[in-house]
Amino acid sequence: MGVTRTAGRVLTALLSFSLMTGSAFAATEPAAALPPGPEDSQQIEPQPLPEEETIAFTDLGNSYARDAVNRLAALRLISGQGGDQYRPQEPISRQDVFVLLSKAMGVQPKRPKEEKYTDVSVDSPYAPYIYGLTELGVLNGRSDGTLGARDALTRQEMAVILDRLWKAGSGPKQVARQETYADRKEIAEYAREAVASVTAQGWMKGANGMFRPQGQVTRGDAAIIAERIWQARYQLAEKVDFRVDKTKLTVMAGTSEKVEVTRPTGGALPFTPVFAFDRPALGAMMPDGTFVAGPTPGKGILTVTVGLRSITIPVEITAAPAEKAPAEQADTRQETAAGGADNGSSKTTDASEDGTGSSNATAASEGDTENSKATVADEEDPGTAEAVSGEEKTAATEESDADAAADELINLAPGSFTSVKPFGKEDAYFREVEKQYPGPVGGLVTPSETWTGYNRQFGRKVMVALPEVKQLERVTLTFRHAKSSGITIPEWMDVEVSPDGKAWYFAGKARHDVSQAEEAALERTLAVTLPQVETRYVRVSFPVKVFAFARQLEIWGRDGKQRSAAPVLLPFANQTETLVEKKSVRRVENMLLAYTGDHGERGTWTKEDFLPMVGYRTKDGYMRDQMFDTVLFLPYQTMPATKEKWQAYLRDLFGSRQQLEALNDAMREFNRLYGTLYTTPIVENVVLALPYPNSAQTDFGKLAPDKESLSFSAKHVGEEKAYQNRKQALEWYYSELKKRWDQAGYQYLRLEGIYWFHELVEDSAPKERELIRNMGRMVHADALRYYWIPYFGAPGLSEWKSLYFDVAFLQPSYYSDKPVPLDRIEGTLEVIQKYGMDVEIEGDERMYRDPKFYQLYYNQLIAAHNYGMDKNNIHAYYFGSKTLLEAVRSQDPAIRAIYDDTYKWMKGKFDQTEYMLPEAMPVNK
Using the predicted structure, report yes or no on whether residue 301 has a pLDDT greater than 70: yes
pTM over 0.75? The answer is: no
Give the domain extent around 166: 65-239
Helix 822-835, helix 851-866: angle, nearest 10: 40
Using the predicted structure, report yes or no on whether residue 391 has a pLDDT greater than 60: no
Picking from 198-207, 519-528, 585-594, which range would have the lowest pLDDT averaged per residue? 585-594
Spatial CA neighbour of 592 closest among 898, 907, 884 = 884
What is the maximum alpha-carbon separation in the chain?
Answer: 116
Using the predicted structure, report yes or no on whether residue 870 has a pLDDT greater than 70: yes
What is the reported pLDDT for 608?
96
Give, as one character, the DSSP assignment of residue 45: P
Residue range 79-98: average pLDDT?
88
Percent of the chain with pLDDT over 70: 81
Using the predicted structure, report yes or no on whether residue 471 has a pLDDT greater than 60: yes
Q: How far apart are alpha carbons 765 and 761 in whole angstroms?
A: 9
Q: What mean pLDDT is reported for the chain?
A: 83
Q: Which residues of 619-656 are buried (b: 16+ CB within 10 A; e: fewer)?
A: eeeebeebbbbbbbbbbeeebebbbebbebbbebbbee
Residue 768 — very low, low, confident or very high, per pLDDT cuts 50/70/90? very high
Kindly tell me the number of DSSP H helices and DSSP E strands found in the chain. 23, 28
CATH number for position 781: 3.20.20
Question: Would 324 be classed as within a structural domain?
Answer: no
Question: What SS3 class is residue 771?
Answer: helix
Start-to-end Cα distance in the chain: 73
Using the predicted structure, report yes or no on whether residue 15 has a pLDDT greater than 70: no
What is the reported pLDDT for 352?
35
- Taking the mean position of all CA atoms in its chain, how far away is CA 333? 52
Question: Do 235 and 252 reside in the same domain of the chain?
Answer: no
- Taking the mean position of all CA atoms in its chain, how far away is CA 711? 38
Q: How far apart are alpha carbons 3 and 807 in whole angstroms?
A: 52
Put residue 903 in one of left, alpha, beta given phi > 0 → left and psi -120 to 50 → alpha. Answer: alpha
Q: Which of 548, 574, 600 is the last residue of a domain?
A: 574
Question: Do 189 and 263 reside in the same domain of the chain?
Answer: no
Dihedral sign for Cα atoms in the order 241, 243, 249, 254:
negative
CATH number for position 467: 2.60.120.260
Question: Do 464 and 612 reside in the same domain of the chain?
Answer: no
Angle at 876 between CA 871 and CA 882, to 5 degrees: 125
Q: How far apart are alpha carbons 604 and 655 in whole angstroms?
A: 10
Residue 923 — very low, low, confident or very high, per pLDDT cuts 50/70/90? very low
Question: What SS3 class is residue 843?
Answer: coil
Residue range 341-365: average pLDDT?
35
Question: Do 110 and 199 reside in the same domain of the chain?
Answer: yes
Which of 258-267, 331-340, 816-825 ranks highest by mean pLDDT? 258-267
DSSP conformation letters of 664-730: HHHHHHHHHHHT-TTSS---EEEEEEEPP--TT-S----SSTTSPPP---HHHH-HHHHHHHHHHHH
- Taking the mean position of all CA atoms in its chain, how far away is CA 665? 15
Pairing relation of β-strands 590-596 and 630-635?
parallel
Question: Do 190 and 313 reside in the same domain of the chain?
Answer: no
Q: Which of 184, 208, 239 is the last residue of a domain?
A: 239
Residue range 207-227: average pLDDT?
93
Total domain count, the chain: 3
Question: Do 759 and 901 reside in the same domain of the chain?
Answer: yes
Question: Would 338 be classed as within a structural domain?
Answer: no
> 567 near 510, Cβ under 8 Å?
no
Question: Would 718 be classed as within a structural domain?
Answer: yes
Using the predicted structure, report yes or no on whether residue 635 has a pLDDT greater than 90: yes
| pLDDT tens track for 658-685 | 999 999 999 999 998 888 887 778 999 9
Using the predicted structure, report yes or no on whether residue 875 has a pLDDT greater than 80: yes
Question: Do 876 and 787 reside in the same domain of the chain?
Answer: yes
Q: Would you call 846 exposed, middle or buried from its count of C-beta atoms within 10 A (0-12, 13-18, 19+)?
A: middle
Q: Which of 239, 258, 292 is the last residue of a domain?
A: 239
Question: Do 198 and 254 reside in the same domain of the chain?
Answer: no
Question: Would 383 be classed as within a structural domain?
Answer: no
Percent of the chain with pLDDT over 90: 59
Residue range 178-183: average pLDDT?
78
Residue range 296-307: average pLDDT?
96
Range 905-912 contact pairs with CB under 8 angstroms and sequence separation of 24 or more: 905/861, 905/864, 905/865, 905/870, 906/589, 906/590, 906/627, 906/628, 906/870, 906/875, 907/625, 908/870, 908/871, 910/861, 910/865, 910/870, 912/858, 912/861, 912/862, 912/865
What is the reported pLDDT for 265?
87
Q: What's the one-letter identity of residue 827?
A: G
Question: Do 656 and 781 reside in the same domain of the chain?
Answer: yes
Question: Do 154 and 292 reside in the same domain of the chain?
Answer: no
Question: Do 827 and 762 reside in the same domain of the chain?
Answer: yes
What is the reported pLDDT for 522?
95
Helix 851-866, helix 893-906: angle, nearest 10: 20
Spatial CA neighbour of 564 closest among 111, 107, 16, 13 = 111
In this structure, the number of other CB atoms found within 10 A of the CB of residue 872 comes to 11
Using the predicted structure, report yes or no on whether residue 715 has a pLDDT greater than 70: yes
Question: Do 695 and 610 reside in the same domain of the chain?
Answer: yes
Residue 665 CA: distances (Å) to CA of 186, 657, 738, 890, 895: 42, 8, 20, 24, 27
What is the reported pLDDT for 47?
44
Question: Would 489 be classed as within a structural domain?
Answer: yes
Question: Would 538 be classed as within a structural domain?
Answer: yes
Residue 388 — very low, low, confident or very high, per pLDDT cuts 50/70/90? very low
621: Cβ contacts below 8 Å, ≥ 6 apart: none
What is the reported pLDDT for 744?
87
Using the predicted structure, report yes or no on whether residue 20 has a pLDDT greater than 90: no
Question: Would 532 be classed as within a structural domain?
Answer: yes
Which of 110-119, 286-295, 358-367, 570-579 ranks highest by mean pLDDT? 286-295
> 128 near 109, Cβ under 8 Å?
yes
Question: Would 834 be classed as within a structural domain?
Answer: yes
> 557 near 410, Cβ under 8 Å?
yes
What is the reported pLDDT for 336?
40
